[in-house]
Structure 1
Amino acid sequence: MTAPQALNAAEPVAIAGGAVTLVEGSTFCLSEATGDVHPGGSHGLFFRDARVISRWELRLDGQPPHPLSVITQEAFAARFVLRRPPQLGHADSTLLVVRERLLGDGLRETITLQNLGREASAVTLTLHVDADFADLFAVKEGRGHGGCDVTVVGDELLLRDRGNASRGVSVSASSDPLVTPGALNWRIVVPAGQRWTTEIVAQPTLANRRVQPQFHRGEGLESSGPARKIQAWRNASTVITADDPVLTQVLQRTESDLGALQIHDQTRGDRPFVAAGAPWFMTLFGRDSLLTAWMALPLDVGLGLGTLQTLADLQGTRVDPITEEEPGRILHELRLGPDSTRVLGGSHYYGTVDATPLFVMLLAECWRWGAPEETVRALLPAADSALNWIRQHGDRDGDGFVEYRRATDRGLINQGWKDSFDGVNDATGRLADSPVALCEVQGYVYAALLARAELAEAFDDTATATRCRAEAEALRQRFTERFWLPDRGWYAVALDGRKRPVDALTSNVAHCLWTGIVPDEHAAVLVERLADKDMDSGYGLRTLATSMGAYNPMSYHNGSVWPHDTAIAVAGLMRYAHLDGATALAQRLATGILDAAASFGARLPELFCGFSRDEFSPPVPYPTSCSPQAWASAAPVLLVRSFLRLEPHVPGRTVTVRPALPAAWGQVRLDDLRLGPAAVNIRAEGDKADVHGLPPDWQLITSRG
């Protein structure tokens, strides 16, 4: 996506609250800036939704080393640079300590002691190790677990889950440690000017089988499995650069994080999909993974197809109130931890209202971007099953709108993207009674119906195309009649259980712009409302206007700023770029988000507080925000695409580019944009674009609109 970088081109890591996050697929690690994992908190090494290391503390002569810096070489690797505490009576230390950590279905840590002094240095090095095998949700909620049994077998430390002996972790090291229950110990003399090194590997065990890590002892970082995987992602991805250094840096971080968050399902043909985010959502999420794949289409259509194929395999087939599975429904969340069957009803939980229409939308979009026709055709039954869910189970009362209500008290109360318990409320702050019909979900359904109609027309299925278009138009009319609030100038965020409008002004209405369900006369008014300081924080669009009863800039969904939400709003505004003020507002929102990204070390977090830029600058972090987080990472790509107004249609052999780029971006460049058989290069600045590499029988559309 951006120009490939050498794997050893180190970048300072952004450390929020003193924590360092490393992530690779379904493995992630949270630690202190020293590299230590202290027991009793939320830090640890996590693998497949369980904490397999809960203590990992390095001591030199019984003392913790002093931190100097942390450098990340990739999202899955870091160097912790430390020193031994100065000896009594000395101001400086002569012993440098470097911990080089690599993740990939396990952990490898190389510890190097370098003696910078003029005489030999004696030191006792100890690594304290423990595990609790706690489920991810238990860690998040501050609950403990039954602990582990620790044994020493030869030169290995073996830790096993006391509640499930088939789950465990082995820890071993080079340089002949003395292994005792709970620790690895070395007594070392480092000659003057010399180095001493040991390599430690933590290898998880599942079902009494050791998981093969994605690295080997002694190999360089650039040769490891995670490095090869991310390099393959970079090689397959479009290279996006810009004159604006902040945008370029943010896009580089996007590339790294999306590569690290990818999980390849080996049981299903190595299909890729993106985990939702670290630390708490390192798994497949229907809504998050689908939207991230949509945003990332300019990079690689394969990620979208892998996501669709994986979700199609897990699509609901029966009615189960515990998991909320229903025929045709798309999965909300897949969990693999030890408590997965007790969390949200099961390891496969379906309580989401929006993933199902988003599935159909993404399928057609992948087709437009060049997905092979045979792959798209193979997914049509899943799309039709999804639409049948929308018509039958999704529309609970037959009024033509899709609603949600959890099936049991285990499920999520709110099942749209604002899924906190208080995420849907009216202008006074009153919570909406279920079942709830969200405004943006009706937009998604509208777009899904049009998407399926377009696919049907392409594949000579006139009857399906006619039916879906008629349904879409009827929905659009109903939506306009029931959701539009003429006295307010915005759409109700929802209809509640008694079909009363829930009248709060929220960012949800911008998603309606994105889907195209909004008529121009209403869109023009919405542009004015979204441009007001009640909604525009200066660093992005607030989830809830400051004038609403439930507004709280420090809340999860009631006044905070979510980068992906703002990016979708920008895409929606640019869809209506012909309206006065739409492009100007889109550019202002995008500028705010990129300014926020710069303050977060170029990595956009899941969300941040919605205080006004005039009140707090830089933006105030949200304390438990995920970072990296998939759709936040992908949001800058959607911004670039939106301002390029880039709309390829590979089956129709057309590419539309009608740029309206922010002046501060300068020139934006896309190299090796794969569109089916074509590899296209785009150079754009302001409202001008040059496109090279289109096949001779393709048409370039640049007309304004």
Structure 2
Amino acid sequence: MEDAIQVDNRWYIPATSPRGDDRTRILKSDDAFAVFSRHGEIGRVGLGDQGLYFAGTRHLSRWQVLLAEREPMLLNSTVRLDNGRLLVDQTTPDLFRGGTLWLPKGTLHLRREAAMQDETLTERLQITNYHDTAARLPLEYRFDADFCDVFEVRGVQRQRRGEYLEPHREACALERRYQGLDGVLRRTRIQFSQAPDTLDGGAAVFHLELGPGATFELEVQVHCAADHPRPEPNLLPSRGPGRGTEPPAFARIFTDNEQFNDWVNRSEADLRMLLTHTRHGLYPYAGLPWFSTPFGRDGLITALQTLWLQPQIARGVLAFLAATQAQGHDDAAEAEPGKILHELRSGEMAALDEVPFRRYYGTVDATPLFVLLAGRYLRRTGDEGFVREIWPALRRALQWMEEKADERGFLTYARHGDKGLVQQGWKDSDDSVFHRDGRPADPPIALCEVQGYACEAFQQAGAMADRLGQAALARRWRARSRQMLEAIDRWFWMEAMGTFALALDGEGRPCAVRTSNAGHLLYNGAVKPARAASLARALVSAEACNGWGVRTVFAGEPRYNPMSYHNGSVWPHDTSLIAAGLARYGFKEEAMQLLEGLFNASIFFDIHRLPELFCGFDRLPGQAPTLYPVACTPQAWASGAVYMLLEAILGLDFSPRERQIRLRHPRLPDYLGWLRISGLGCGDASLDLVVRRHGRDVAVNVEQRRGDLELSVVI
């Protein structure tokens, strides 16, 4: 996704300097999140993305602790595995007075714990003196609140801003206030558990006297608030069911490989952190720091990745997107009746239409993915009642797809106006769709993978219509799916390349470029069997696969650049979709090759967290993947990749009607001796199973069964 700032009609994320330290620490709770340095500080280093954010606005732009006017030295920094707390251990450096050492380094210990709950950041500080004499010194908290919109943080220059009001002071608290141009009063309240000796607009100072072995304790709360309703209706529940409760339990995965467990555990923790309570259920916000908001495509793909182990995520995504579906025409927002949301923003700049993303529908793929997910959700859960609830939204989405289709039956896009996204597939950089000679493709553009989504969407729509007793609609949509399969093969297949064209331009000319997009067609079953082997070979070739994952554009193709956002980088979610497609067509070895690549990449990344993307340079012995400088981390669909990869190699399938879980030709890679899945549910029953590898074969055992549920294994 390339939702970003606009300069000369181009939207991108600026990177004028590298991160000061790529090992940032992140906490999130619903619509608020914080980005810290490893020291637990918030400052202006590197990309300047550190801060405490709420509803699209940075409420804390500086947060620094000083002892004796010096920054403490870092001993250790970690975020708990569940992402619930940031733990930082620090000590003082050598402290001098008049050239004389009066307190040696390692004498005072600072223990800092930070946690997010709703819109409040809480930090607990302990300072212990391990010296044999008393220590007298000032403790200072320095802070600032710039109330910048997230797009300002990313580089947008605004002509006007609102008004900074005089801070409000109390004995133990200070409140910074900003009156936005959108009429919203935004407030940051900093509350100390005891009164500072001095407190002004940017600092609180405590004069400490610590005897030998003594400990000083302090709690600070930073609360974010917006005093008036935001112009965009708040989709988060202010009170009520679900707010503040834990997301539903995932099926638990454990193996005999501790590093693999670390990857799975981090992925689960990150997904739990990104899951946000809305009035319509849980929704996985896309990523931090730039995309902490609902994105249609990202939420849908994350729900597909996790559908087998936690279908409640899919239900929340479907309900939310049905509620925000476009009802009318709005060229500025790219809205058309039945179209599914691309992005929702609630900050000041979105409210004032300084950026076009307040409710923005500039995506061609979210609508077929919405229908596709609903069909897969019904197959996974048997939840006909919920599908009936959203059936009007599904009918509107399908109507949009039928009316939007060109004469060949393809979904196309062309931007309306001059502010939105030029490219409206998942690779939405301006330069991501081009011909063999490097020329950009002229709109309206038909992307190959979007036709695959639509092909399966019509198939799933037919299955849902059958379940709901609408046989005529079922026949119509199934026929549409069959027609699309034939049209995709006719118009997109490039025999000389052994793969499918990236896209067709407005004149129907193919963009004959080898890209990862074609792999999505396998995922949707939109490839004729006779083409599958050739496509599989292309996707795991040295030009496509760099050893860690599949490049977005193959090496050697026009515009290939391993450092590009969409033209040569590796995206974990993209690789997971391709692996699932390979497995669907029986190419399990190739799917396991991609699983191994991303697993090995996870070992090198900080706290085993896969980023949004990384560079596409070839894997070299002893060298880590090359970081992309402004990638979001965590990112929901990067976290979901491991689950789709496991689903693919195990061949997982569900039949609620038959009360059966199926494993079709399950495989395990040679670095996993066994894999246990606990609490794998189907309907109101669940089971715990273990898959054990014996050479190239596997054996599957049920360890525990709860309710009436059968396991079927096809070896």
How many Å apart are 1:39 and its aligned residue? 4.3
How many Å apart are 1:68 and its aligned residue? 1.7
Q: Could you tell me whether the CA contact under 8 Å between 1:24 and 1:75 is conserved in 2?
A: no
User: Which residue does 2:549 correspond to in 1?
Assistant: 540
Is 1:596 aligned with 2:601? yes
Q: Could you tell me whether the CA contact under 8 Å between 2:184 and 2:229 is conserved in 1?
A: no
Q: Could you tell me whether the CA contact under 8 Å between 1:406 and 1:412 is conserved in 2?
A: yes
How many Å apart are 1:294 and its aligned residue? 1.2
Q: Could you tell me whether the CA contact under 8 Å between 2:165 and 2:179 is conserved in 1?
A: yes
Percent sequence identity over aligned pairs: 35
User: Which residue does 1:500 correspond to in 2?
Assistant: 509
User: 3-state DSSP class of the match of 2:614?
Assistant: coil
User: 3-state DSSP class of the match of 1:379?
Assistant: helix
Q: Tell me the matched-pair count.
A: 667
User: 3-state DSSP class of the match of 1:17?
Assistant: coil
- Within-5 A mapping of 1:610-649: 610-614=616-620, 617-649=623-655
Q: Could you tell me whether the CA contact under 8 Å between 1:368 and 1:649 is conserved in 2?
A: yes
Distance 1:171 1:371, change over 3 A: farther
Distance 1:38 1:150, change over 3 A: farther
User: 3-state DSSP class of the match of 1:167?
Assistant: strand
User: Which residue does 1:4 correspond to in 2?
Assistant: none
Is 1:429 aligned with 2:445? no
Q: Could you tell me whether the CA contact under 8 Å between 1:608 and 1:620 is conserved in 2?
A: yes
- Within-5 A mapping of 1:376-391: 376-391=387-402
Q: Which runs of 5+ in 1 are unaligned?
A: 1-13, 215-224
CA distance in 1, matches of 2:392, 2:655: 22
User: Which residue does 1:511 correspond to in 2?
Assistant: 520
> Deviations 1:625-684 (Å, cap 9, x if unpaired)?
111100000110111111110010213433220202212222111111121111122211
CA distance in 1, matches of 2:706, 2:375: 22
Give the letter aligned to residue 43 of structure 2. Answer: H
Give the letter aligned to residue 483 of structure 1. Answer: F
Q: Could you tell me whether the CA contact under 8 Å between 2:591 and 2:648 is conserved in 1?
A: no
Give the letter aligned to residue 93 of structure 1. Answer: G
Q: Could you tell me whether the CA contact under 8 Å between 2:580 and 2:648 is conserved in 1?
A: yes
1:85 aligns with one of 72, 83, 93: 93
Q: Which runs of 5+ in 2 are unaligned?
A: 1-18
User: 3-state DSSP class of the match of 2:564?
Assistant: coil
Distance 1:98 1:492, change over 3 A: same
1:677 aligns with one of 672, 679, 684: 684
User: Which residue does 1:247 correspond to in 2?
Assistant: 260
Q: Could you tell me whether the CA contact under 8 Å between 1:111 and 1:197 is conserved in 2?
A: yes
CA distance in 2, matches of 1:527, 1:613: 20
Distance 1:343 1:511, change over 3 A: farther
How many Å apart are 1:237 and its aligned residue? 1.6
User: Which residue does 1:334 correspond to in 2?
Assistant: 344
- Within-5 A mapping of 1:454-493: 454-493=463-502
How many Å apart are 1:699 and its aligned residue? 5.5
How many Å apart are 1:702 and its aligned residue? 2.6
2:174 aligns with one of 129, 142, 157: 157
Give the letter aligned to residue 172 of structure 1. Answer: Q
CA distance in 2, matches of 1:552, 1:307: 34
1:566 aligns with one of 565, 571, 575: 575
> Deviations 1:32-53 (Å, cap 9, x if unpaired)?
2222212482211111111011
Is 1:557 aligned with 2:563? no
User: 3-state DSSP class of the match of 1:664?
Assistant: coil
CA distance in 2, matches of 1:143, 1:25: 28
CA distance in 2, matches of 1:692, 1:383: 39
User: Which residue does 2:218 correspond to in 1?
Assistant: 198
How many Å apart are 1:493 and its aligned residue? 0.7
With the length of structure 2 as denominator, give the TM-score of the two structures.
0.89
How many Å apart are 1:480 and its aligned residue? 0.6
- Within-5 A mapping of 1:179-198: 179-198=199-218
Q: Could you tell me whether the CA contact under 8 Å between 1:59 and 1:126 is conserved in 2?
A: yes
User: 3-state DSSP class of the match of 2:593?
Assistant: helix
Is 1:325 aligned with 2:335? yes
CA distance in 2, matches of 1:431, 1:52: 41
Is 1:348 aligned with 2:352? no
CA distance in 2, matches of 1:187, 1:134: 32
RMSD value over aligned CA atoms? Answer: 2.3
> Deviations 1:242-301 (Å, cap 9, x if unpaired)?
122222111100111111101101x44xx1010000010001000001110111123311
CA distance in 1, matches of 2:108, 2:166: 32
How many Å apart are 1:208 and its aligned residue? 5.1
CA distance in 2, matches of 1:160, 1:53: 11
> Deviations 1:163-194 (Å, cap 9, x if unpaired)?
35611111110121132122212111112101
User: Which residue does 1:5 correspond to in 2?
Assistant: none
Q: Could you tell me whether the CA contact under 8 Å between 2:412 and 2:445 is conserved in 1?
A: yes
> Deviations 1:408-448 (Å, cap 9, x if unpaired)?
11110111110111122233332221111000000000111
CA distance in 2, matches of 1:319, 1:611: 43
User: Which residue does 1:583 correspond to in 2?
Assistant: 588
1:102 aligns with one of 95, 115, 118: 115
How many Å apart are 1:93 and its aligned residue? 3.2
Give the letter aligned to residue 321 of structure 2. Answer: L
